[in-house]
Amino acid sequence: MNYQSQKFDREKCSKDSRILSILETGEQILLSTCLWKFSHINKQQERILVITNKNLYNITPQSTLVNFFSKVVSSVRVKRKIAIQQVDGITISKCGFEFVIHVPDEYDYRYSSLDFREKILFILSDAYNKLLNKNLKIYLTDDLTLIPHTKTKVDAKKGIQKMHRNHLNIDPQSLVNYDFSTMKQNEDNQKQLIRKSYDYYQQYKLLKYLYQGMLGQVIMVQNIKTEKYYVFKLMQKQDVITTDHLNHTQIERKLLEIFDHPFIIKLVQAFETDDQIIFVLPFYQGGDLYTHLKRESRLKEERVKFIISQLILAIGYMHEREYVYRDLKPENILLDSDGYVVLTDLGLCKQLPNNDQSYSFTYSFTGSVEYIAPEMITAIGYNRMIDWWMLGILTYELIFGITPFYSDNQSQMFESIQEREVRFSTNITISNDCKDFINNLLKKEPKERLGYKKDSFELKAHLWLKDVNFTEILKKTNQIWKLNLNDPLDLRFFESEDFNLESFNSLQQDKTLIQKFNQVFQNIEFNL
């Protein structure tokens, strides 16, 4: 292997005198590349990773400011230097493109590289092998985000290690032929999996365009053989890339398969064409809760209690598996013909360990603005308690027809979310227990919020839900809220849309973006 090959020194660090000046005697640059590094608060930071035959360097890329002040020396740009012998292993996401470099005596580094991760791994593993005469430990995980596998500075002070117990023992040369997405070796040294373009017209009849989702189109279809009705969530590969929703789409694909709960949507089938990715999902004839709320203005308290009880079970299920939903709103709640609900749109779910509330936080700003919690606005970090805040907002909106802190002015709305207490209209009568339930979910301080100590068990034990039999709810034996939809083609809860279904296959495609999608998003295919 010619380590000086330009294809590995992408940032041309071997020709940068300021970088060369910090190297030790006999130190040679083996690889340099620009990638994303994640901070302890999960903030993305652009960095240059440099691997030499002795050390790893985490370097801030040259900025306009640094170029302007030419006297600034390169040592200022070096954020961290790690001796290769201090590295003990590397954890790799099989589903995404993150990886973690483990440094047991210090703290770990979590990186993301869209197109260069395997080369980084090979060069680091080879340098490690040559220096220490043993193989670098490699750990594989199905997790898309590697937060649970990254030891932070806080963890280091507590003596917490985040590496797996079992690792792969692979020599550097074998890494060239290794496919980490399947944990199998590729035949004939081919790195790209053979992608199957599925002809869905052989199995499904496209019936009706229902609505435009956040990323793709939702289409009602019928299985030609079984005559059962489903929906396509159809996304153009190029749109997934251009809208920066690749990670969200990967998360949704994974969770649609692994989540198994009556009130969370479940994947039926997944496949791809040359240009598209398609999730086949159950058809919920009742439409979304937003449509019902818009038509009825507000719902009766008993019906709201019925809906909220199901959502408590669904969200509690996610929390038990260390996922935060983060996107609760009427538009993401579908109804079946019996009036039962199901959560959909799982792309914003976040894996967040809940075993220690003192450091299990995330910081990204996401979700519907009317449902944002105070801790997200102030950017102090949030955890699973944000879901219970959103449930409080939803309960209020379903009963009163408006969110409790709504304002046309977003700044004023955010100020109200942080400072104003909940006000209940005197024109609508609700029980004191319901008011108490809402008030306790909408506590500004997460530690005071209902659910902080025992999560969903606290909510189920609240007086407002004392007459709810959660076992019966889970079995779906209550038929009080049937929607009287006897005709499977009765689409009264969907807006009338005029859209040419054939146009999905006539869009101009960007082959470069599609290739980029195919390089990253593997193992789409699924059959229930």
- Distinct helix (H) and strand (E) counts, the chain: 16, 20
Among 430, 457, 453, 428, which residue's Cα sits nearest to residue 443?
453
Assigned token pair, 492: 């009264």
Q: Which helix (H) or strand (E) is 126 found in, with range? A: helix 117-132
Q: Counting Cβ atoms within 10 Å, is residue 294 exposed (0-12), middle (13-18) or buried (19+)? A: exposed
Q: Alpha-carbon torsion 216, 217, 220, 222, what sign? A: negative
As annotated, the active-site residues are 327
Taking the mean position of all CA atoms in its chain, how far away is CA 314? 17
Which residues is 91 bridged to in the sheet? 100, 139
Q: Alpha-carbon torsion 94, 95, 97, 103, what sign? A: negative
Please measure the distance between the N-terminal and C-terminal CA atoms of the chain and give it in whole angstroms. 45
Q: Counting Cβ atoms within 10 Å, is residue 7 exposed (0-12), middle (13-18) or buried (19+)? A: exposed
What does DSSP say about strands 137-141 and 89-93: parallel, antiparallel, or unpaired? parallel
Interacting residues of 464 by C-beta distance below 8 A, sequence separation 6+: 305, 431, 433, 434, 436, 437
Q: Which amino acid is at 214?
A: M
> Which residues in 458-477 are b (16+ Cβ under 10 Å) and which e?
bbbebebbeebeeeebeeee
Measure the CA dihedral 218/219/220/221, to 10°: -130
